[in-house]
Amino acid sequence: MSGDRVRATLGDEHGGEEPFARTAETLVASLTSRLAALLYVSGFEAVGSQIAGFAAAGRQVAQTAEGRRLRDAIVRSRAGMNGDALWGALRVQEWLSKVPPSPVLNDIANDLALLLSPGMHEALHDLATGELPLQRVPLPPPEDVTFADTLLGVWAVGRRLADAVEQLVGGIEAGPTVVVAPTPDPGDGSLLR
């Protein structure tokens, strides 16, 4: 049985003001800023921020029924218990809970949208001529990170990314692909007979 359809509108944050609107320019600026930030942050912070971002994604997905079931399964499993022990002994949890989480879900969605944006070339030209303003915004505060949330986030991001890449290229042809090798020319020489 199905009910009536409800419409949900997806819009820009803060009413579409710069730098919050998602346009080709702001997405190129965001990607440029992220790459530039790698020059002055340590590997410790860059990697930690990414992993903390996966944990943040996991916390969001854990609000759903499927996410909650999977998280409970991770916590009860040997992998989950070993992961907690490993992170505790190596103080990984402590490290990750001190770095601001990277908006992994946002970044993936933005990078994919950029690949499909017709205004990307113009934005790249603005970047080359220095007309693209690089925006910086306050970082989110660090949050407690657990192994289960991180693993759940990796699952959610991976699944979403796999589906998105297939749609990006317009889908994959179903069925096997067969390439017939060309038949070699036997030649006219007597030695080959």
Sign (positive or negative) of CA dihedral 114, 26, 119, 39: negative
109 makes contact with other proteins (CB under 8 A): yes
Token pair, residue 158, equals 């991976």
Query: Residues 39, 43, 63, 187: which binds other proteins (CB under 8 A)?
Result: 63
- Burial class of 175 by CB neighbour count within 10 A (0 to 12, 13 to 18, 19+): exposed
52 binds other proteins (CB under 8 A): no
8-state DSSP, 21 = S
C-beta closer to other proteins: residue 8 or 179 = 8
Q: How far is the CB of 105 from other proteins (least distance, A)?
A: 4
32 and 107 Cβ atoms separated by less than 8 Å = no
Residues that bind other proteins (CB under 8 A): 1-13, 19-24, 26-27, 29-30, 33-34, 36-37, 40-41, 44-45, 57, 60-61, 63-69, 73, 98-100, 103, 105-110, 112-114, 116-117, 134-139, 156, 159-160, 163-164, 167-168
